[in-house]
């Protein structure tokens, strides 16, 4: 092998030196390329820093907008043993107060206390806590709270901490909640039959805020979401509406109601302005007037959109009342995309209350087909759309030329139980549909699914006392 190598590469370094002279100098290449590389590195660092600052600012703005602000950290220097003990005692007192307001208190024996709230009012009900820094009002399941006015600049969540509901008791002044967005989950709102002689301070404050709207709950927000709730009125204390929604701006107006029962109130939902989107899913309404009322003061063309899925309306005069406060210059359209629902009001599905009978030519109602499933069932005795003619002083049917009824199926529904009267809180299963005359596009019957609704918020004895 050595001899073969010597024949191929003769001894000496001339060939190696010649080869090295042809290779480029790395130091010269580095000197020529280093300024550009430095500029690339510096520009990359600037882009990274700018992106980090932008992301941090975005997260900070989002947190401020939602009210997610951290608690301030206070560091105090102890001046002595007695001062340290005083600070520790004050800290323990603050922690106990915060735990009571948030829903958890720790016993001295090291275990959790039985109840989250330790203070009650003169009626024996618990006092409602204030929203925490995240905008959450956590109520203890199975307990009764006295309603008080709540205000929060961001997103406000009022919810129960377990599967059992938390009851909020309101008096004749109602309950006002104000925030950019409001979410209610697992709450039963119940009114007392009479106003107590010694009214609380918050009741007077609520009455002064919105005395013209009589409702169990007044929500001042752009977005309202209600889930797993029961809103119940009484015969001794009738209220105009269960929920009055008052939007604070014209940008986002969204109302969603899911798995909720409206029982024995005047209106179920009263919307003081037309929403941009309103959805009802698995909702039972047994109201005394209309299930939903929409007020409008716009003279231009207005569209009221409603999306219904598995909605049952029984015992009400109508499902929707539209009340314009001014003469209508443009077209006023009700657009309902409804499916898998049962609407059995005593008068009509939609009623218009017009300032002048001449405005009837500008009305239009559209019942659009759902994306899938059965259409909406209405009884043969129910009119689809009517309006009140002040000159005739009676209700008049809307002409067929102004009506689009794609999703309405006229059929006689048969329910599982008696739906003629009484409270629907403890017998929501009676309002399930057992059968109807007509084609069936799915195995499941239209209407509510009672298993998904809030069950017995009140015991039978308490229900009879509050619903005579």
- 87-109 pLDDT tens trace: 444 443 443 344 344 444 333 33
Region 201-207: what's the mean pLDDT?
47
Which residue in 361, 443, 367 sits closest to 402, CA to CA?
A: 361
Asked if pLDDT for residue 70 goes beyond 60, the answer is no
Asked if pLDDT for residue 112 goes beyond 90, the answer is no
Residues 183 and 204: their CA atoms lie apart, in Å, by: 24
Q: Which pairs with CB-CB distance under 8 Å and at least 24 residues apart come from 163-170?
A: 165/141, 165/228, 165/230, 165/454, 165/457, 166/139, 166/140, 166/141, 166/142, 167/143, 167/457, 167/458, 168/128, 168/139, 168/144, 169/123, 169/125, 169/144, 169/145, 170/216, 170/217
Asked if pLDDT for residue 38 goes beyond 70, the answer is no
pLDDT band at residue 373 using 50, 70 and 90 as cut-offs: confident
Yes or no: say if 103 and 140 are a contact pair by the CB < 8 Å rule.
Answer: yes
Which residue in 408, 413, 419 sits closest to 435, CA to CA?
A: 413
Domain boundaries, the chain: 98-104+116-466
Q: To 10 degrees, the CA torsion angle through 342, 345, 346, 348?
A: -110
Asked if pLDDT for residue 118 goes beyond 80, the answer is no
Q: What is the mean pLDDT of the chain?
A: 79
Residues 364 and 97: their CA atoms lie apart, in Å, by: 56
Alpha helix stretches (DSSP H) within 190-249: 201-209
- The predicted pLDDT at position 20 comes to 60
- The predicted pLDDT at position 207 comes to 46
- State the CB neighbour count (10 A cutoff) for residue 71: 8
pLDDT band at residue 122 using 50, 70 and 90 as cut-offs: confident
Residues 348 and 165: their CA atoms lie apart, in Å, by: 34
- The predicted pLDDT at position 117 comes to 46
pLDDT band at residue 200 using 50, 70 and 90 as cut-offs: very low
Residues 343 and 376: their CA atoms lie apart, in Å, by: 7
- Bigger pLDDT: 7 or 453? 453
Which residue in 91, 109, 84, 195 sits closest to 147, CA to CA?
A: 195
Residues 221 and 316: their CA atoms lie apart, in Å, by: 27
Residues 112 and 278: their CA atoms lie apart, in Å, by: 42
Residues 159 and 141: their CA atoms lie apart, in Å, by: 9
Query: Which range is least confidently modeled, 96-110, 253-267, 344-358, 415-429?
Result: 96-110
CA-angle at 412, arms to 409 and 413, nearest 5°:
95
Region 43-48: what's the mean pLDDT?
76
- Phi then psi for residue 92, to 5 deg, are -65, -40
Residues 234 and 263: their CA atoms lie apart, in Å, by: 9
Which residue in 399, 401, 450 sits closest to 427, CA to CA?
A: 450
Percent share of the chain, pLDDT over 70:
69
Asked if pLDDT for residue 338 goes beyond 80, the answer is yes
Yes or no: say if 346 and 377 are a contact pair by the CB < 8 Å rule.
Answer: no
Residues 287 and 226: their CA atoms lie apart, in Å, by: 17
- State the CB neighbour count (10 A cutoff) for residue 434: 11
Residues 127 and 120: their CA atoms lie apart, in Å, by: 6
Residues 323 and 93: their CA atoms lie apart, in Å, by: 53
CA 329 to chain centre: 33
Asked if pLDDT for residue 256 goes beyond 70, the answer is yes
The H or E element that residue 18 is part of is helix 14-22
290 Cβ neighbours under 8 A, 6+ residues apart: 267, 268, 316, 317, 318, 319, 320, 321, 345, 351
CA-angle at 247, arms to 241 and 253, nearest 5°:
105
Yes or no: say if 446 and 340 are a contact pair by the CB < 8 Å rule.
Answer: yes
Alpha helix stretches (DSSP H) within 73-193: 81-102
Residues 66 and 130: their CA atoms lie apart, in Å, by: 16
- 8 class by beta-carbon count within 10 Å (0-12 exposed, 13-18 middle, 19+ buried): exposed
pLDDT band at residue 27 using 50, 70 and 90 as cut-offs: low
Global pTM value:
0.71
């Amino acid at each position: 092998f050595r001899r073969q190598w010597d024949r191929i590469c003769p001894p000496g370094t001339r060939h190696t030196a010649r080869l090295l002279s042809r290779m480029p100098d790395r130091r010269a290449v580095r000197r020529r390329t280093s300024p550009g590389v430095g500029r690339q590195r510096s520009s990359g660092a600037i882009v990274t820093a700018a992106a980090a600052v932008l992301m941090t600012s975005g997260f900070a703005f989002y947190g401020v907008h939602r009210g997610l602000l951290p608690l301030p950290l206070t560091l105090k220097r102890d001046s002595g043993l007695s001062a340290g003990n005083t600070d520790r005692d004050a800290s323990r007192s603050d922690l106990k107060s915060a735990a009571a307001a948030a829903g958890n208190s720790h016993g001295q024996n090291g275990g959790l206390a039985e109840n989250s709230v330790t203070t009650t009012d003169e009626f024996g009900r618990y006092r409602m806590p204030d929203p925490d820094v995240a905008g959450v009002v956590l109520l203890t399941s199975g307990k009764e709270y006295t309603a008080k006015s709540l205000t929060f600049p961001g997103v406000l969540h009022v919810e129960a901490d377990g599967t059992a509901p938390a009851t909020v008791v309101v008096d004749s002044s109602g309950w006002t909640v104000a925030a950019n967005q409001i979410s209610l989950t697992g709450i039963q709102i119940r009114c007392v039959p009479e106003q107590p002689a010694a009214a609380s301070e918050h009741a007077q404050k609520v009455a002064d805020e919105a005395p013209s709207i009589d409702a169990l709950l007044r929500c001042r927000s752009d977005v309202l979401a209600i889930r797993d709730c029961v809103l119940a009125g009484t015969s001794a204390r009738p209220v105009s509406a269960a929920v009055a929604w008052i939007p604070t701006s014209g940008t986002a107006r969204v109302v969603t109601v899911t798995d909720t029962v409206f029982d024995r109130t005047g209106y179920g939902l009263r919307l003081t302005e037309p929403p941009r989107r309103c959805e009802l899913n698995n909702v039972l309404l047994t109201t005394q007037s209309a299930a939903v009322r929409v007020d409008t003061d716009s003279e231009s063309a207005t569209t009221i959109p409603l999306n219904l899925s598995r909605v049952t309306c029984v015992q009400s005069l109508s499902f929707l009342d539209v009340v314009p406060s001014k003469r209508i210059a443009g077209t006023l359209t009700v657009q309902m995309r409804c499916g898998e629902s049962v609407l059995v009001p005593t008068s009509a599905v939609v009623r218009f209350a017009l300032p002048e009978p001449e405005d009837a030519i500008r009305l239009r109602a559209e019942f659009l087909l759902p994306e899938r499933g059965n259409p909406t069932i209405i009884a043969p005795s129910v009119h689809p759309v009517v309006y009140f003619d002040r000159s005739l002083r009676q209700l008049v049917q809307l002409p067929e030329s102004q009506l689009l009824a794609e999703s309405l199926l006229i059929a006689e529904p048969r329910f599982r139980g008696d739906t003629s009267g009484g409270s629907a809180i403890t017998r929501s299963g009676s309002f399930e549909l057992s059968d109807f005359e007509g084609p069936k596009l799915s195995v499941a019957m239209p209407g509510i699914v009672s298993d998904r609704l809030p069950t017995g918020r009140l015991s039978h004895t308490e229900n009879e006392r509050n619903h005579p």
